[in-house]
Amino acid sequence: MIILSIETSCDETAISVVEAKGSAESPGFSILGNACFSQIKIHKEYGGVYPNLAKREHQKNLVPLLIEVLKESKFFKLETKDEKLPTEIEKILEREPELLRQFKEFIPTIEKPPIDMIAVTVGPGLEPTLWVGVNFAKSLSRVWNIPIEPTNHMEGHIASVLLNRSDESGIKNNESRINYPALALLISGGHTQLVLIEKPLKYKILGETRDDAAGEAYDKVARMLGLSYPGGPEISRLAKEDREKRQEANVWRLPRPMIHTDDYDFSFSGLKTAVLYRLRDAKKITNSQKKEIAREFDDAVTEVLIRKTERALRNYDIKTLIVAGGVAANPNIRESFAALKKPLSGLSVLFPTIKLSTDNSIMIAMAAFLRISSKQETVIPIAANGNLSFSNSAN
């Protein structure tokens, strides 16, 4: 099955063409085409994602990225018949005028590619930006008569571990098979969740953050330290430099919020406030102190994530742990979770490759395939839903 997948939930405009084979239990994926436009440079100025700007960028970039992936996958052919677009397209794209303009100009010139399904992220995420992707998918579906599989972004992060490749951090990810019951620790800019997966597509949220998401905390602390957006990679870089410089723990001890509480919830906003107070007390900090703070913050987040996850691993007799989402690109977090395999024998720990940790459209194609091939009826409507949660369709 050939899947065209579209992701616009935040600040990455991404489109892929993925060939999926096998079954939900044993899937195989090949990437035929992948194109992504990251808006990070644009949002850097604002210190975070500015939704209206993101929406405008998605509108501008979707058609060029589609042409790029079709060319890469060798599915790009010019249309010889003079096909007219259905008038409905004007209605579907009425709120995306720039996308409508490009759609009318280019899509009739492209021959229908051999695509079996369009997977599109419908949520969770920024609703205005999600709509751009959803309306683009609806328009393509109407013109080319291809069905749409509305896809949950977080299910995408879970599926991101299924691409069998060794990653750039040196931890081999060769056994990317999920054994059940599985546990997913989802750590991104918008979410921090521990999700029990009893069997494919059967989710139960065990706990989540009560305030800031882990990635959000990295971004906010980075901003306090004068580092650029997104803050996660900057903090982990400084933390690494500090670890290389000195062995012992530093003097800037930060709290480990909720580390001993009898639940699976998290809280990161206190950690951010603690950094703020330390900075205020210090008045002026040196570069070396910045590195110390970055390291201590990185350690504090990692320890809390590890302890809470360990509780769930033991209590639910988990066979596979999935650590996914943008923060899973963090080397300290990856190494600490990989080390859990030893004390908990029989446990496999899966990460996405570094590239597939942050938002991308390949994971959306993989999640859509799992749903389609498990023959579960789609329960998600084809409409953007910024607060979309996990919907169980397996009984």
Q: Which residues bind ligand KG4 (CB under 6 A)?
A: 10, 188-190, 215, 218-219, 230-233, 236, 325-327, 329-330, 358-359
Half-sphere exposure of 386 (CA within 13 A, CB side): 8
The residue (of 14 and 89) whose beta carbon lies closer to ligand KG4 is 14
> Judged by CB, which is closer to ligand KG4: 138, or 220?
220
Residues ≥6 apart with Cβ < 8 Å to 278: 252, 254, 293
CB 267 within 8 A of CB 210: yes
Shortest reach from residue 38's CB to ligand KG4, in Å: 10
Q: Is 155 in the site for Zn ion (CB under 5 A)?
A: no
Q: How far is the CB of 61 from ligand KG4 (least distance, A)?
A: 17
Estimate to the nearest angstrom the gap between the alpha carbon of 189 and the chain centroid.
Answer: 9
Q: How far is the CB of 194 from ligand KG4 (least distance, A)?
A: 16
Distance of CA 116 to the CA centre of its chain: 24
Q: Which of ligand KG4, Zn ion, none lies near 349, with the C-beta cut-off 5 to 8 A by kind?
A: none
Is the CB of 27 or the CB of 125 nearer to ligand KG4?
125
One residue of 96, 167, 216, 359 binding Zn ion per CB under 5 A: 359
> How are strands ordered across the β-sheet holding 148-152?
27-38, 12-22, 2-7, 117-123, 148-152
**Nearest distance in Å: CB 370, ligand KG4:** 19
Q: What are the CA-CA distances from residue 279 to residues 122, 275, 286, 334 (Å)?
A: 40, 6, 11, 28
> Rounded to the nearest whole angstrom, what is the least distance from the CB of residue 172 to Zn ion in the complex?
24
Identity of the residue, 149 or 298, whose beta carbon is nearer to ligand KG4 in the bound complex: 298
Confirm if 327 and 286 have CB atoms less than 8 A apart.
no
99 CB contacts (<8 Å, ≥6 apart)?
58, 59, 60, 62, 63, 93, 132, 135, 136
We find the least distance from the C-beta atom of residue 157 to ligand KG4, in angstroms, to be: 6
Q: Which residue has the tokens 């084979």?
A: 21
| 34 near Zn ion, judged by CB under 5 A | no
In the bound state with ligand KG4, the residue whose beta carbon lies nearer, of 323 and 349, is 323
Between the alpha carbon of residue 332 and those of residues 3, 170, 232, 326, 335, the distances in Å are 34, 12, 12, 13, 5
Binder of residue 37, out of Zn ion, ligand KG4, none (CB less than 5 to 8 A by kind): none
Q: At closest approach, how far in Å is the CB of 148 from ligand KG4?
A: 21
Q: Which is nearer to ligand KG4, 40 or 394 (CB)?
A: 40
Sign of CA dihedral 373, 115, 149, 358: positive
Torsion of CA 97, 99, 100, 101, to 10 degrees: 90
Q: How far is the CB of 157 from Zn ion (least distance, A)?
A: 6
H-assigned helices in 73-152: 88-92, 97-106, 127-144
- How many residues sit close enough to Zn ion to count as binding (CB under 5 A)? 2
Tell me which of Zn ion, ligand KG4, none is bound by residue 141, counting a contact when its beta carbon lies within the kind-specific cut-off of 5 to 8 angstroms. Answer: none
Site string for Zn ion, 216-255 (x = CB under 5 A): ----------------------------------------
CA dist., res. 278 & res. 76, Å (int)? 56
Which residues 163-192 are close enough to bind Zn ion by CB under 5 A? 188
Q: Which is nearer to ligand KG4, 236 or 309 (CB)?
A: 236
Binding site for Zn ion (CB under 5 A): 188, 359
